[in-house]
């Protein structure tokens, strides 16, 4: 695991040295800023009181959050392994005394760090809200935990897709499809018959319902277990994939 | 330092390396010679711990590459073919990253990176972006990377590929210098490169080891190269006459560019390249004499007899001929081996 630190640093460097990173961050912050602006505008001009807080509206019950993740995650993860395999640098990397697990974890940690750094400026929205009224900080913490975990899960899937192919474009497309698929499965909660296994399954994997819960300050362990699975399982498979194209 | 025994690598049904065994001793500079697609890169990748093997054992400085891969990789400085590097990094930055990755202690990193840059002669581009460097410089940055953790063994996959003659000379002299302190295994498909830098040579073709010995032996092997004879007359007659000579090995038609295809029947010439049968005492100059006599006897006119220039292809033809049945099929195979398949 001693290889973790140098690879982690290099990945961060490689991400922030490319224009792609700054384009993604800019687009992300513009979209989130617009989203926030509309929510505040609606709340400010509303005549009847709402049963939602602005925070709940920002993180839960909105498709915008997923749209952003859907646009953001695939281009962040596509290059992780695919680029190195295409350019051949993976050969130099893997012939150094490093373990497959260290490589996978370092790359993953770097991309999660980047993802969290992107969310960091949005904490300013809390400051804005705080000046206009009360903010439930626990609910806010839960909401941020929620986006952190959901994003981490998506990034893990993206990393796996990047490890499975040497084409960045293919990794991008398959990751986007996987994220979309997961979202659609969650919609199944409202479509499947009540009480059936399918409905139970869909509600368990529903990222939508999860974000609604987290945005209201409800942190359910079942959600945490699901998120942990979403993070750990693809990482584990990715490690095996790296081992496979290495020793296969 | 490097011990390979009965190494086999299969990709699906294709056998890339077939039962190869060799040893490289401490301080040797060994050339790994073979045409493209012979399995050189595959073998080196297995030694470097990038690819798994199908059968056999490989040990690097006493560490088995499959069971003790970490220790084996730590003993090696490996430079992959085409030296892949991160284009967005600066040379010194990249080497510092590689040094940290290869577990060079923090306090040594700066000085070891500096030393590797000196050895590989890239000090003048230390602060350049790798993406802006020329091919020759990139190749040398790859070499500096191989050197940076001061491993006892260097494995260099085609270190001079794609360079101009000056750069090739530079790299060869660097490799020669390194050979005094390191065990070096370098692959190439250029015969003169081996003669210029290596003390020993291992020749591989189509995944099989075909020869192994001192570079001096290689010179001798080249000395016995083929004879080229140009005759005027019917090619079939000439071939038949040559085939009938005692001690004759391979005979193959050599296209003759000097004769236009439209020239009159009686002016048409054809060339043949022939080899003495391996281990045949009646070979050598005596064979040439007998061949010319046979051609003249068959009513053909001999226009030219000269030794064919020794090329790697000839060497392979010679080396592989001893292990095959003589005849056209074997000749065709030996020639085709030169350009067949991608270097995996």
Per-residue model confidence as pLDDT tens digits over B119-140: 888 999 999 999 999 888 898 9
What is the chain A residue with the closest CA to B47? Answer: A95
C-alpha separations of B171 from B41, B140, B175, B176, B233 in Å: 19, 8, 6, 8, 49
Residues 125-184 of B with CB under 8 A from A: 142, 145
Q: What strands, in cross-sheet order, belong to the sheet with B269-276? A: B248-254, B269-276, B227-232, B301-307
> Which pLDDT value is given to residue A157?
96
- Nearest chain B Cα distance for residue A112, angstroms: 21
Decide: B5 and B28 in contact? Cβ < 8 Å: no
Q: Does A221 touch chain B (CB under 8 A)?
A: no
Provide the total of helices (H) and of strands (E) in chain A, helices listed first. Answer: 13, 0
CA dist., res. B291 & res. B229, Å (int):
9
Question: What is the mean pLDDT of the segment spanning B47-57?
Answer: 90
> Which pLDDT value is given to residue B283?
57
Whether A95 and B73 lie within 8 Å, measured CB to CB: yes
Query: What pLDDT tens digit does each residue of chain A (248 aa) get?
Result: 788 999 999 999 998 988 888 998 998 999 888 888 888 888 888 777 777 777 788 887 677 777 788 888 999 999 999 999 999 999 999 999 999 999 999 999 999 999 999 999 988 888 888 887 778 888 889 889 988 999 999 999 999 999 999 899 999 999 999 999 988 888 887 787 877 888 888 888 888 888 888 888 888 888 899 999 999 999 999 999 998 887 76
All structural domains of chain B, each given as residue ranges with its CATH number in brackets, are 2-216 (3.40.50.300), 224-336 (3.30.70.260)
**Any alpha helices (H) in chain B, and if so which ranges?**
40-48, 69-74, 91-101, 106-120, 135-147, 165-179, 191-197, 215-223, 235-243, 285-297, 312-321, 328-336
* Three-state SS letters, A50-63: CCCCHHHHHHCCCC
Per residue in A180-205, pLDDT (tens digit) is 998 888 888 778 787 788 888 888 88
- Using left for φ > 0, alpha for ψ between -120 and 50, and beta otherwise, residue A78 falls in alpha
Name which of A77-86, A158-167, B89-98, B261-270 the model is least confident about.
B261-270
Q: Is the ipTM of this structure higher than 0.85? A: yes
Q: Does B45 touch chain A (CB under 8 A)?
A: yes
Q: Does A196 touch chain B (CB under 8 A)?
A: no
Q: Does A22 touch chain B (CB under 8 A)?
A: no
Whether A14 and B101 lie within 8 Å, measured CB to CB: no
Q: Where are the domains of chain A?
A: 4-247
In order, the DSSP letters of B102-169 are: TT--HHHHHHHHHHHHHHHT-GGGTTSBGGGS-HHHHHHHHHHHHHTT--SEEEEESTTTT--HHHHH
CA dist., res. A77 & res. A72, Å (int):
9
The chain-wide mean pLDDT, for chain B, equals: 81
Per residue in B272-282, pLDDT (tens digit) is 878 777 655 55
Decide: B224 and B318 in contact? Cβ < 8 Å: yes
Q: Does A244 touch chain B (CB under 8 A)?
A: no
- Full-model pTM: 0.80
Tokens of B135: 């091919």
> Which pLDDT value is given to residue B333?
39
**Local confidence band at B288 (pLDDT 50, 70, 90 cut-offs):** confident
């Amino acid at each position: 695991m001693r290889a973790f630190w140098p690879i982690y640093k290099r990945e961060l460097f490689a991400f922030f040295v490319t224009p792609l990173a700054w384009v993604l961050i800019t687009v992300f912050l513009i979209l989130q800023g617009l989203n926030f602006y509309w929510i505040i505008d609606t709340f400010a001009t509303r005549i009847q009181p709402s049963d939602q807080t602005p925070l709940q509206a920002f993180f839960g019950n909105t498709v915008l959050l997923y749209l952003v993740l859907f646009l953001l995650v695939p281009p962040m993860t596509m290059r992780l392994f695919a680029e190195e395999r295409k350019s051949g640098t993976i050969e130099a990397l893997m012939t150094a005394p490093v373990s497959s697990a260290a490589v996978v974890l370092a790359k993953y940690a770097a991309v999660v760090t980047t993802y969290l750094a992107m969310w960091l400026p949005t904490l300013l929205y809390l400051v804005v809200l705080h000046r206009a009224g009360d903010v439930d900080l626990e609910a806010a913490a839960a909401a941020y935990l929620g986006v952190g975990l959901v994003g981490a899960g998506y990034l893990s899937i993206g990393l796996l897709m990047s490890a499975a192919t040497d084409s960045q474009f293919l990794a991008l497309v398959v990751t986007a499809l996987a994220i979309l698929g997961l979202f659609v499965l969650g919609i199944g909660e409202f479509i499947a018959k009540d009480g059936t296994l399918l409905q139970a399954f869909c509600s368990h994997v529903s990222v939508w319902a999860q974000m609604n819960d987290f945005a209201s300050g409800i942190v359910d362990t079942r959600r945490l277990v699901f998120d942990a699975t979403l993070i750990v399982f693809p990482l584990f498979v990715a490690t095996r994939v790296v081992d496979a194209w290495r020793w296969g | 330092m490097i011990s390979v025994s009965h190494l086999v690598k299969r990709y699906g049904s294709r056998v890339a390396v077939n039962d190869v065994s060799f040893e490289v001793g401490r301080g040797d500079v060994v050339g790994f010679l073979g045409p493209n697609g012979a399995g050189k890169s595959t073998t080196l990748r297995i030694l470097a711990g990038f690819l798994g093997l199908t059968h056999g054992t490989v040990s690097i400085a006493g560490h088995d590459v499959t069971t003790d891969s970490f220790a084996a990789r730590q003993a090696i400085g490996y430079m992959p073919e085409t030296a892949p590097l991160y284009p967005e990094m600066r040379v010194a930055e990249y080497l510092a990253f590689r040094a940290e990755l290869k577990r060079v202690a923090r306090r040594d990193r700066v000085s070891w990176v500096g030393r590797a840059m000196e050895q590989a002669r890239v000090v003048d581009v230390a602060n350049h972006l790798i993406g802006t460097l020329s091919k020759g410089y990139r190749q040398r940055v790859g070499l500096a990377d191989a050197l940076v953790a001061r491993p006892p063994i260097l494995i260099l996959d085609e270190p001079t590929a794609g360079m101009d003659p000056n750069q090739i000379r530079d790299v060869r002299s660097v490799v020669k210098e390194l050979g005094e302190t390191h065990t070096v295994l370098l692959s190439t498909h250029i015969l003169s490169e081996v003669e210029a830098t290596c003390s020993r040579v291992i020749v591989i073709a189509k995944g099989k080891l075909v020869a192994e010995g001192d570079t001096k032996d290689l010179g001798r092997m080249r000395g016995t190269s083929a004879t080229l004879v140009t005759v005027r007359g019917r090619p079939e007659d000439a071939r038949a006459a040559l085939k009938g000579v005692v001690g004759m090995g391979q005979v193959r038609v050599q296209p003759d560019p000097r004769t236009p295809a439209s020239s009159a029947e009686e002016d048409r010439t054809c060339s043949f390249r022939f080899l003495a049968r391996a281990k045949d005492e009646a070979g050598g100059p005596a064979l040439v004499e007998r061949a010319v006599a046979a051609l003249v006897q068959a009513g053909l006119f001999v226009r030219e007899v000269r030794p064919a220039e020794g090329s790697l292809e000839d060497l392979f033809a010679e080396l592989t001929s001893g292990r095959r049945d003589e005849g056209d099929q074997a000749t065709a195979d030996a020639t085709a081996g030169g350009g067949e398949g991608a270097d995996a």
